[in-house]
A and B are shown apart, each in its own frame.
Chain A
Amino acid sequence: MGYGNWDDTAYRAGKTYRARQGVDDFGYTAEMRAKPYDTWCAHPLLDPFGVGKRECRDSAEHGNSLPVAVLFDVTGSMGRVPRIMQDKLGKLHGLLKNKGYAQDPQVLFGAIGDADTDRVPLQVGQFESDNRMDEQLRAILLEGGGGGQKSESYELAAYFMAEHVATDAWDKRGKKGYLFLIGDELNKPRLAARHIRAVIGDHVRRDVSVESIYRELEQRWHVYYILPNQSSYYRDPEIAEHWTALLGQNFLKLDDPGAVCELIALTIGLGEDRIDLDTGLADLRDVGSSDEADAVGRALGSKPGPTLRALPPGR
């Protein structure tokens, strides 16, 4: 009936849409936004409470399953990065397969918040190898909370991955999976028993040291921490020192968060000895990801050879 904008052009519209690119709002977040905050909860697909085990199993056609878990921080300090993760990570499985970096990858996605202040401090999906991965990504709630004290509940996620995941890769082949935590803050000072009880439902009575939960985790997982640019603490030396102390050279800084899939894929390809770094970066340029290649090259320290070298902290 009435209509106002007679001079709208494709260019102007395109500008509006470009301003929002990579900000695909996965419906569950929009759904929750429409409700009072005190009713927000994890999507049933991703609720870690009382789940028993998340399983990564071989199947008839995929007899060599490789577990890959990616959990990203969704608190406010991460800025737009969680949106970019949601948008980009859907490509990860295809990238691993197409490049032959992993034979039968199965990917699990999850999200990390602050168990002291958030409604939904932990979300963990299932290991998937098809388009159900997209569904999981869409179902991740981007709460955007956090407590403002420069720490998030990564150690709670680490506990879940250590205690509530079973993989054929480990059970049958003694092979470690790959776990990537993406965030920009510190662990909580201790893994709090009350957080475990409230969020995961295990009847744990005593707090656990952060150091010990990562040691346990590393028995069955290659654990990486990725600090992406565009988050609040990208240049904060305290963050780099904290994670380097825990994970050594598996602390990685990524200056273009849009290259997260490429960094993860290449890291796995290197870890599996499927590729060397220069070939991997050349692969990326071949598929037109030259900006991503540059970012990944910087994150991994572009030097041939199967070993990874992280950037020195604080650069």
Chain B
Amino acid sequence: MSPMFGDRHLVVVDLGFGDAGKGATVDWLCSPEADLGVAAVVRFNGGGQAAHNVVADGRHHTFAQFGSGTLAGVPTLLSRHMLVEPIALAAESEQLAALGVPDPLGLLAVDGRALLTTPIHIAANRAREDARGTSRHGSCGRGIGETAWYALENDAPTVADCRAPDVLRAKLDRLAAHYEDLIGPSAHGYESVDALVAMYRDFARAVRITGPAELARLAQAGRLVFEGAQGVLLDEWRGLHPHTTWSTVEPRNARAMIRDIGATAAVLGVTRTYMTRHGAGPLPTEAPLGFPEPHNGTGHYQGAFRQGHLDPILLRYAIDVCGGIDGLVVNHLDVPGTLCAAVAYETSTGRTTEVVPGRWRDLDHQQRLTDQLFDATPILAPIETDPAAWLAERLRVPVVLTGHGPDRRDRATDSGKRAAEVGEQGRIGAHVP
């Protein structure tokens, strides 16, 4: 695997709507088994709403803000593109400590320029979703959208402000005033600004707050793995509007950061052998497949967890809006039975086999794609061969890693598979379906 990537940094994105197995992928890339010399995991989008499951050495954790390399002992950098939520971060560090990770906060560096998601944003988020009633967007209720949206027009609190209580207090007061009409009459509230300021000061004293030079410093120590959150089909500009997230999910920000330090990247796209989606929005191949889903239930704000047949048309679109990718990671190869894939869509205007990207930031185009997909009925065909190989051929991207279960030891590279086939003790313990 190493020869394939050379000294490139790795960017891991989900080609669907999230939940495809980025966490397990990042954990494996950081693991001793992979031997890729990873110095740090960098979060480059989203915030505390991520839920990346890692199972390794008998331990399970759902990573939200810490990078999924934590169980492998790899430090995390929350970059300036990340929305940081310190209250949840503290709880997550306690969970990790309980799992036996020594001093989890010591593995963390946070860019001072990152926006802060506060209980005020979260209360506003929930009040707004409640007011929407049945026309919910599929929000997680974690304040992500409010954080990004408020910062567009206002001087929003940042991580660096946590070190300057007076500055922070003034910003929080303005934030609270801004949302008074929305939150006041709602069922939601938040603690006093004084309590928040005191807590944020403690946060700033306990974690390492860094500046622009941090990324280059980490890169000198080894390979970086950029861990995306959510999925490309939820991207704020490229996703299926309006059922999107307030975050740039496709890898442009990660690519730019890597360019800035004069390095190169390999982008890995992660998918399952079928589609999944949380909450509202198009899912053309939706079907009651009934595959078990131990870590994803129904969220109060984001709605039900849905499944659908493999959709290479949507995956191809995701790859296109990523500006191409360098490798595929295919997970959930352990699901039983014959899989089906969409070969085309029937729509009211005829048959189509592609979803065409528009110009970047053309939300009218994105809305048309959403309408097109709501109107699409998939034409399905069974996959008669190994789904990973089938996907590699259909999407014209090599498969670099496959997942055959939730655990770290369930990951296999091609070389690992070959080792298993020729009867060697493959280090990865691949069991080929």
Contact = CB atoms under 8 A, between A and B. Distances in A.
Central interface residue in B38, B196, B198, B205, by most chain A CB within 10 Å: B205
Interface stretch (A17-25, A163-171, A215-223): A17-25
Nearest to A142: B106
A14 interface: yes
A34 B108 CA distance: 12
Contacts of B73: 33-34
A244 to B, nearest CB: 36
Contact of B206 (A3, A12, A17, A35): A17
Given A34-B38, A34-B73, A16 B297 contact: no
B199 A8 contact: no
Contact of B296 (A1, A16, A23, A30): A1
A98 B228 CA distance: 46
B299 A27 contact: no
Contact of B217 (A3, A17, A19, A27): A27
A31 B106 contact: no
B202 interface: yes
B142 interface: yes
A27 B218 contact: yes
B187 interface: no
Given A1-B278, A8-B90, A11-B199, A21 B205 contact: yes
B51 A3 contact: yes
Nearest to B119: A10
B205 A13 contact: no
Nearest to A16: B90
Given A10-B198, A11-B195, A13-B199, A3 B90 contact: no
A8 B91 contact: yes
A5 interface: yes
Given A1-B302, A2-B299, A3-B299, A13 B208 contact: no
Contacts of B308: none
A31 B198 contact: no
A175 to B, nearest CB: 36
B75 A31 contact: yes
A31 B90 contact: no
Interface string B12-48: 0000001100000000000000000011100000001
B275 interface: no
A14 B90 CA distance: 8
Given A25-B107, A31-B221, A2 B51 contact: yes
Given A1-B296, A5-B91, A17-B90, A10 B191 contact: yes
A33 B222 CA distance: 13
B86 A30 contact: no
Interface in B167-220: 191, 195-196, 198-199, 202-203, 205-208, 210, 214, 217-218
Given A2-B62, A10-B87, A10-B198, A25 B208 contact: yes
B42 to A, nearest CB: 13
B103 A34 contact: no
Contacts of A3: 48-49, 51, 64, 88, 140-142, 299
Contacts of B19: 1
Contacts of B39: 31, 34
B108 to A, nearest CB: 8
Contacts of A11: 191, 195, 199
B221 A2 contact: no
A9 interface: yes
Q: Which 3 A-B pairs have the closest CB atoms?
A: A25-B106, A13-B90, A17-B202
Interface of B: 18-19, 38-40, 48-51, 62, 64, 73-75, 86-91, 93-94, 103, 105-109, 119, 140-142, 191, 195-196, 198-199, 202-203, 205-208, 210, 214, 217-218, 221-222, 230, 278, 295-297, 299, 302
Interface of A: 1-5, 8-14, 16-27, 29-31, 33-35
